[in-house]
Amino acid sequence: MGYPHPSHPRETPVLSKYFGDPEARTLAGWRARGGYEALEKALATDPVEIQNIVKESGLRGRGGAGFPTGMKWSFMKPDGKTHYLCCNADESEPGTFKDREIMRWTPHGLVEGVALGAHAIYAETAYIYIRGEFTEPYARVCAAVEEAYAAGILGANAMGSGKRVDVHVHRGAGAYICGEETALMNSLEGRRGNPRIKPPFPAVAGLFGKPTTINNVETLTAVPYIVKNGAEWYKQFGRADNPKSIGTKLFSVCGNISRPGNYEVALGFPFKEFLYDLCGGPLPGREIKAVIPGGSSVPILTREEAESALMDYEGMVAVGTMMGSGGVIVFDDRQDMVRQIARLTRFYAHESCAQCSQCREGTAWTTRIMERIRDGQGTAEDLDTLLSIADNMSGKTICVLSDSCATPVVSGLKKFRHEFEAKIAANRSQVTVPGALRAS
């Protein structure tokens, strides 16, 4: 894997400042750049104080859900029980590849955030659950953990603080569902990676039944900067009229775009300027047709909607979608949206753990129907059938994989219905079969 693109002048590089700098990967290099100063400070500070700094900073979960990090940490009390911190490094959302770059270039930044987070939630043991396919990031993170142990940063007397912080790196086996936090815990325990019913939330009964906090790579890596520079410093990043979205965010950009890659911007950045200025706009002679702004699980935007949006949690909700993981997928005017959405539904059907019937059956039937429409074999009833299945798949299952499959179908049908209808109209062998589901 290669070097990242040079930082654009309009980016706000905090977490990405050392992307492309191989020296930052080593312990000596990380320390020379101010690394581990925040951990040292934190280990000498009461966990409640750390929780309050993070609360005050406004940091929200960067894995996709945007849950306030300080609040999540404050669920963990000094109750004398064993606590665990899990770092979710299973980044598998289509279009999302930012955590991968954090681990490739600044693995010590992650280790520092993990150790700091463990201290802040009264945990002595933390796990980094890393996606199985992440070969290079896995090697980089393991090397950083080893170096940190050898230097006494981790272990029984972390940085001479008298506190124990152990970090274990666990490699997944390539299942998307294991990025869902409760499936991740089952997988860590050596079970099949099936999601668990919530509540109880992990904060009450998590890994091995103990109170557990699960945070994404980007979230944990941001924390040392906040502890070192203060909540007020972090609050400068964001738009003045939206105190709910604070900080910088890494966005991964892929698809039909001139300059794909990872970009770090202050939340609230105008999406139009992001797409056309930072990312160079569409390829020569093409036009953007649609954008999925937050990984494949969030509603698709038309070009006009995307161009009017602001890149933060509320800005994306305002145009009917979500910021999610920050994986921006761009489609230009050549793209067949039926084919693109069918690809996504096949992904979800493949990755369903099959525990819930709405998901097992819903993702499979949705894919079957999407693919027959794609192949010119669809009928007019198929569109209502898709919407009916989507309704039965949403809000009714243990986790949100099922909803995630339904989302691009529903938003795609709403915004690009004419493309579905054109394919159906071209099906000359069309016969009307009564009943909701017809065999393909």
Binding site for ligand NAD (CB under 6 A): 61, 63-65, 67, 72, 75, 91-93, 96, 179, 181, 201-203, 214, 294-295, 297, 324-325, 400
**Do residues 275 and 240 touch, judged by C-beta distance below 8 A?**
no
Distance of CA 11 to CAs 44, 132, 250, Å? Answer: 33, 30, 10
Q: How near is the Cβ of 44 to ligand NAD at its closest, in Å?
A: 28
Whether omega for the bond prior to residue 243 falls within 30 degrees of 0, making it cis, is no
Q: How far is CA 117 from the centre of its chain?
A: 19
Nearer to ligand NAD, 307 or 403 (CB): 403
Q: How near is the Cβ of 439 to ligand NAD at its closest, in Å?
A: 32
Q: How far apart are the first and last CA of the chain?
A: 41
Structure tokens at 412: 């795609």
Nearer to ligand NAD, 36 or 313 (CB): 313
Q: Under 8 Å CB-to-CB from 90, ≥6 apart: which residues?
A: 129, 130, 131, 172, 178, 179, 184
Nearer to ligand NAD, 67 or 233 (CB): 67
Q: How near is the Cβ of 206 to ligand NAD at its closest, in Å?
A: 8
Q: How near is the Cβ of 426 to ligand NAD at its closest, in Å?
A: 35
Nearer to ligand NAD, 65 or 283 (CB): 65
Structure tokens at 414: 């709403």
Q: How near is the Cβ of 237 to ligand NAD at its closest, in Å?
A: 21
Q: Under 8 Å CB-to-CB from 289, ≥6 apart: which residues?
A: 302, 303, 331, 332, 333, 335, 337
Triad 347, 350, 355: Cα angle to 5°: 125
Structure tokens at 401: 């994989």
Nearer to ligand NAD, 74 or 379 (CB): 74
Structure tokens at 70: 């300080």
Helix (H, G, I), strand (E, B) or coil at 266: strand
Q: Which residue is nearest to ligand NAD (CB)?
A: 64
Nearer to ligand NAD, 325 or 363 (CB): 325
Of 270, 218, 278, nearest to 253 by C-alpha is: 278
Q: How near is the Cβ of 216 to ligand NAD at its closest, in Å?
A: 6
Q: How near is the Cβ of 342 to ligand NAD at its closest, in Å?
A: 19
Helix (H, G, I), strand (E, B) or coil at 308: coil
| Burial of 396 from C-beta contacts in 10 A (0-12 / 13-18 / 19+) | middle
Nearer to ligand NAD, 98 or 368 (CB): 98
Q: How near is the Cβ of 139 to ligand NAD at its closest, in Å?
A: 20
Q: How far is CA 227 from the centre of its chain?
A: 23
Q: How near is the Cβ of 161 to ligand NAD at its closest, in Å?
A: 27
Neighbours of 429 (CB within 10 A): 7
Nearer to ligand NAD, 297 or 363 (CB): 297
Nearer to ligand NAD, 112 or 181 (CB): 181
How is 193-230 classified by DSSP, letter by letter?
A: -PPPPSSSPTTTS-GGGS-EEEEEHHHHHHHHHHHHH-
List, in sequence order, every residue forming a beta bridge with 169; answer none if it has no partner.
Answer: 128
